[in-house]
Structure 1
Amino acid sequence: MNPLGVIYTAGDTLFVVKDFSDLIQRHIATKGLWEPELIKLLKYISTQITKNIGKCHLVNVGAHIGSVCVPSAKHFSRITAFEPVKSNFDHLNLHKNLNSVNHMITHNLALSDSICDSKIVFNPHNTGGCHVVSDYEVANSIRHAQNHIKDTVQCVSMDSIEFEDSIEILLVDIEGHEERFIKGAEQTIKTYKPVIIIELWTDEKRQHENMKTTQYEMIQKITSFGYNIVKQSGIDTFIFLNPSHFHCT
C-alpha cells in the first residue's frame, strides 16, 4: 500500500485512490478508467492530427486528478493541464509522476476572463465537480455560486498565457464556467483553431443554476470563431472541429 492511498491499475495507467467516497476515485477503483469513450476519442483525434502535422498538443482545462489526460498522455507530443483546486492539483501531479508523463506541464490555475482571485465551490464527495465562481455569479444568485467556500483560487485568462507550442486539442470541463473561459480564450482559439471538446450544461441545468446563457448560445459563440463542424456526445459534451487539421465525417 502507498502511504498516500491505494494504487490501482486502470488500463495501463496507475492511479492512487486517496478517498473511496469520492465519485471518480471510487469509479477508478471498482470499474476502471473514468470516461473511457472520451479517452478513445482523444486517441482517435490525436492520431489523425499527428499523421497530418507530426505532433499533437493537448491543453486540458479542468484536469482534475488527471483521470482523462494521464491515460491519454502517450497519444500526445505535449500536454498542458490546468487545475485550480490545490488538492486536486497535487493529486494530478502524483499521477503524472507515477506514470512518468514527462511531457506534461501542469498549472495550479483557473482559466477565466480576467486575472483575479475567485471563490470555489467544493463537493468532497465529487471533487471533479469543484469549480470557480466569480463575485458576479455570487451577486447575481447563480445557484451553484451560493455553495462557495472561503478558499480562493487564482484565475487568469487563457489569452494572457504564452504557450510554447501550437494547440491542437482543447479539452474543457469546468462545470458551468465556460462562458467566462471562452471570453478570456477567444484570441487563443482564433489563433490556433484547435479541436475543442467541451462540456456545455443543458438548458435544464442552466435554468436550475439561474444562468443567463443557453446551451445553443454557447454553441453559436464557439462556432463564430470559425468552426463549421459540431458533433455532440451525450447530452452535454460537444466537439468543435476545424478541418484544417484533418477531415472527419
Structure 2
Amino acid sequence: MSPSVSPINEDHTKALSVISKIGCIVSMIFLVLSVAIHAFFWRFVKSVRTIVHTNLSIWLIVAYILFLVGFNRTENKDICTAFAVLLHFVFLVVFFGMLTEGCSISFPVLKPLSSRKPGIPLMIASYVIAVIIVVISTGVTQLHGYGSEQACWLSTETGLIWAFLVPVFFVVLVCILYCLLTCKAIKEPLNIPSLQSAIVIFCFESLMLKINTRDSSVNAHFKIEKHDIAYIYIMSQRIIYSCFT
C-alpha cells in the first residue's frame, strides 16, 4: 500500500499490504468501541470535549475505510481520482480534528477563568478549511495529480502532495506550540492541581504520539528507495502500535 514511486519487491509489497490492513482493521475496532462506549454513556459524559473526541473517532473510521477500499483502485482512472480527492479531504479533516482536540484540552489550562469553549467552532472550521484546500487544489490542478498507476493518492511528481503535507506540518507545529504553552502554564503555582496537571500532560503526550503514529503513511509520501525497506516495515508496524496508545 505504499505510494512510493520506487519499485519494491513483490514479497515486501504483499507483506506491507497485510500489515497495513491489519493495523487499520485493529484501529477501527477500537475506534468503534470508543464511539459505542461514548454513545452508551452519553448522558453522563456529554460535553464539548466528548463531542470533539467522538467526531475525530468517526472521521478516523471513515478514513480507514476509504483507505482500505479505495487506495489501490488504480484500474479505473475516474474512480481512482474520486478516491484520491476523498482521501485528501478526509485526512485533512482528521488532522485538523486532532488539532481541535488538542486545543480543547489546552484551552482550560491556558485560560482557566474563561467560560468559552472553542471546540465546536474549531471543529466546524476544520471542515471549512479542509474543503477550501481541496477545492483550491482540484481547481488549480484540474484533478491532475489525484491518483496514479501506483496508488489513488496525491502525486509526488507534480508536487500536489504538498497540498496535504503543508497543512499537516502546520497542525504538528501548532500542537507542539500549544503543548509547550500548556506545560509552561502547568508549572505556575496554584494554576491547577498536581493530579490534573499530570492528566493534562498525559493527554498531550498521547495526542502528539497519535499525530506521529496514527497516520504514519505521511512518511511514505516521500520517495523511498529499496534500501529503506526496513524503515517502511517499522513505520507500518507503528500503525498497529498506535491502536493501543
TM over 0.5: no
Normalising by the smaller structure, the TM-score range is: under 0.3
Relative CO higher for 1 or 2, CA cutoff 8 Å, sep ≥ 6?
Answer: 2
More helix by share: 2
TM, length-normalised to structure 2: 0.26
Rg larger in 1 or in 2?
A: 2
Greater fraction of residues in strand: 1
